[in-house]
Structures are given as structure tokens and as C-alpha cells.
Amino acid sequence: MAEHTEHIEHSEHIGSSGFYWLIWAVLIVATVLTAWISTVDLGVFNTVVALLIATCKALIVVLFFMHVKYTSEKMTKAVLLSAVFWLLLLLILSLSDYSTRYAG
Amino acid sequence: MSDRAGTGESPLVLEHEDRPELRHHFADVVQQRNAASLGMWWFLGTEIMFFGGMFCGYLVYRRAYFPEFAAGSRSLSLVAGTVNTAVLICSSLTVALAVRASQLGKRKLLVSLLLATMFFGVCFLGIKGYEWHDEYEHHHAPTFYFNAQDLVHNNPNLHLDPQRTKIFFSLYFALTGVHALHMIVGIGIFSVITFMAWRGKFTPEYHTPIEIAGLYWHFVDIVWIYLFPLLYLIDRRPGA
């Protein structure tokens, strides 16, 4: 997947088009898989599997399409991780509040 | 991978000569590019919090009103949702290939890939609009004409509360509506950069607008990647 281009300088990563098509194929397969598996009875795991597949897809997009895997800028990763951390804080604390507040 | 950063080979003093795109307050193009990209990431961080608030409201109500949310979710078109997810993934591919084309300085390829991206974006909005129209026709849009009696009758043993069903459709229209608004903004941004690309404004050394517009587009794609299972796939088990 490495491509050598003489006139381009500095640290920029250039993925090969074949690799991007592979990522696309993985994402399409995951989409069909998540739609199909939602019609299979897995009990409470239906939601878990759906969110797991979505998170894998999001991770693939972030790492490869958004070049986070290749960036030399550590601040990018710090910003992304802190945003996700605050999001989880928001969701987990709110849901633990609502889950324990009412009997039902 | 042309990774030659940190070898100290860029003569900073000479960088600014014959480089009109390099702003004077940056040492070199790499620093300028990283700063622009980082700024976009900060913005995307605020976007995560923006959508996060609505996702949080969704999760709280979904927990409380699960049968209504599941029934509302089943009334959405699984085919339309899946196809739209695939359409957005295709658009993300064309964006990634467009960034690559700009890195390689292939102008014609870049313009066609940007046009393809906007085409997929318009397709997505078309399918979404068709779904909204369908839901409006069924009185599932949270307006004065909202009526969920069809869902109540179709699920007699669940004893659904129509008002709770309305909460699901309100969140559905709010989430997909705000997402569609982001798509419209994205198509607007892409029209501008397509015009710039057609005019030959971008070179392998300077294509920052393509890159940061691409980051935005991928982010909107990721929001949909979560919206799809959360709205369309709540509970589609057989017999549910």
C-alpha cells in the first residue's frame, strides 16, 4: 500500500486506492451483517452486537479514512480521545442516574 | 509511505518564498496543515458533544419507553435505512479517494470524485426525504396530525401508549433532521471545494480544504453509522 511520490515532501500519508476499496468492502459487509443479524433472535445481545458492529465501523472510518492511524500529530489523538471520554461521561453518568432513580 | 518528517531537512527560511498559500505565521506547510487539521478535530469534538446530548436523551427515553421505541423502530423501512448507510459509506470512499487524488495532484480525478461524493450525498437526502414523506403520510410525524393508532392495533399485546410513540418519532425526526442538515452543509462545502479544485487551486503541497472538508464528511458518516442501529434496528427479532 505504500506509494512513492518524488515531489511530495513531509510526513503526509498517502494510502493506495486498493486499500481504500478494501475498507469500503469491509464497511459494506458490516452494514449488511448488522441489518441481517438484527432479525436473528439473540435476546439482549441484539443491541450489544448492533452497537459493537457500529463501533467497529466508526473505528475503521476514523483510523483509515480520517487518517488518525497515520497522523504524526499527537494532539489529534488527544482531542479525539478526550471528546469520546466526555461523551462516555455524559452517557454513563446520565444513564446510571436514570437507571437507579425509579423502581421500574 | 513518504514519511520523512523530523529529519530536519526543511529549510524554514526558504519555505515562504514562492509559496503564496503558506501564511506568514506558520513555519512551514506541514505546521500549517497540522494546525488546520487540528482545528477541524476540535470542531468535531464539539460536534460529538452536540450529537451526544441528543443521543443521551434518546437513550434515557428508549430505556423508559422500550416497547414504544421498538414498535416505532419496526415501522421504519429496514431496506431504506440499510441502502442509505451503504450510500454514505460509498460517499466516504469517494472522499478518501478524493483526498488521495489531491495528494497526488490529479485534478480531473479529484473533481470527478468530489462530484461523485455530492451525488451520493444528494441520493442519501433523496431516500431520507422519501422516508420522511412516507412517515408523514402515515401521520407518524410529530405534528398536530400525529396518530399512532396503526402501531397500537398492530401490536395488541404490547398495550402501546401513543404519546410515548410520539416521543420516539420526535427523537427520530430530530436526530435524522439534524443529521440531514449536516449533510446539506457538507454538500455546500463540497460545492465550494469542487469549484476550487476545478479552477486548479489545489496542489500536492496545498490541499488542506479537501482534507478538512473530508474530515467533516467522514464525521457525518459516523453519526449515521450510529443512528442506523439506534433508530432502525431497536428490536427486529422474529415474533417481537
How far does A69 lie from chain B, in Å, by closest CA? 13
Identity of the amino acid at B178: V
**Burial (CB count within 10 angstroms: exposed 0-12, middle 13-18, buried 19+), residue B107:** middle
Q: What is the pLDDT of residue B26?
A: 87
Tens of pLDDT along B192-236?
Answer: 999 999 999 999 888 999 999 999 999 999 999 999 999 999 999
What is the structure's pLDDT at B111? 97
| Residue closest to B101 by CA, chosen among A25, A16, A7, A65 | A16
Going from the C-alpha of B85 to that of each of A100, B58, B131, the distances in angstroms are: 35, 20, 14
Cβ atoms of B220 and B172 closer than 8 Å: no
* Average pLDDT estimate for A86-92: 96
Q: What is the DSSP string of chain B?
A: ----TTS----HHHHTTT-TTS-TTSSSHHHHHHHHHHHHHHHHHHHHHHHHHHHHHHHHHHHHTHHHHHHHHHTS-HHHHHHHHHHHHHHHHHHHHHHHHHHHT-HHHHHHHHHHHHHHHHHHHHHHHHHHHHHHHTT-SSSTT---HHHHHHSGGG---HHHHHHHHHHHHHHHHHHHHHHHHHHHHHHHHHHHHHTT---SS--HHHHHHHHHHHHHHHHHHHHIIIII-SS--TT-
Q: Tell me what the pLDDT averaged over chain B comes to.
A: 91
pLDDT above 70: residue B6: no
Q: Which of A8, A31, A51 sits opposite B103 (nearest CB)?
A: A8
Which grid cell is B233?
434496528
Residue A103 has pLDDT above 70, yes or no: no
Q: What's the pLDDT band for B11 if we cut at 50, 70, 90? A: low
Res B16: pLDDT: 60
Instruction: Tell me what the mean pLDDT of segment B139-146 comes to.
Output: 92
Domain boundaries of chain B, sorted by first residue: 43-232
CA distances from B211 to B59, B120, B186 (A): 33, 18, 13
B81 CB neighbours in chain A (<8 A) are 35
Task: Return the higher-pLDDT residue of B34 and B109.
Answer: B109
Determine the pLDDT at residue A5.
Answer: 44
pLDDT beyond 80 at B15:
no
Is the pLDDT at A66 greater than 90? The verdict is yes
pLDDT of residue B222: 97
Q: Which of residues 17-76 of A touch B (CB under 8 A)?
A: 17, 20-21, 23-24, 27-28, 31-32, 34-35, 38-42, 46-47, 50-51, 53-54, 57-58, 61-62, 64-66, 70-73, 75-76
Mean pLDDT, rounded, for A70-95 = 92
Mutate to test the interface with A, among B22, B225, B234 (most CBs of A within 10 A): B225
pLDDT number for residue B31: 85
Hey, what's the cell of B64? 423508559
Q: Domain B43-232 falls in which CATH fold?
A: Four Helix Bundle (Hemerythrin (Met), subunit A) (1.20.120)
Residue A9 has pLDDT above 90, yes or no: no
Interface test with A, best of B33, B218, B233, B235 (most A CBs within 10 A): B233
Q: Which three cell numbers stand for residue A54?
A: 457500529
List chain A residues with CB under 8 Å of B214: 65-66
Asked if B124 and B217 touch (Cβ cutoff 8 Å), the reply is no
Over residues B148-188, the pLDDT tens digits come to 999 999 888 888 999 999 999 999 999 999 999 999 999 99
- List Cα–Cα distances, B112 to B101, B106, B197, in angstroms: 10, 10, 10
Is residue A48 predicted with pLDDT exceeding 80? yes
- pLDDT confidence bin for B38, thresholds 50/70/90: very high
Which residue type, as a one-letter code, is found at position B126?
G
> What is chain A written as a DSSP string?
-----TT--TT-----HHHHHHHHHHHHHHHHHHHHHTTS--TTHHHHHHHHHHHHHHHHIIIIIS-TTT---HHHHHHHHHHHHHHHHHHHHHHHHHHHHS--
Q: What is the mean pLDDT of residues B112-140?
A: 97
Question: Please, are residues B183 and B75 in contact by the beta-carbon 8 Å criterion?
Answer: no
pLDDT above 70 as % of chain B? 92
User: With 70 as the cut, is the pLDDT of residue A90 above it?
Assistant: yes
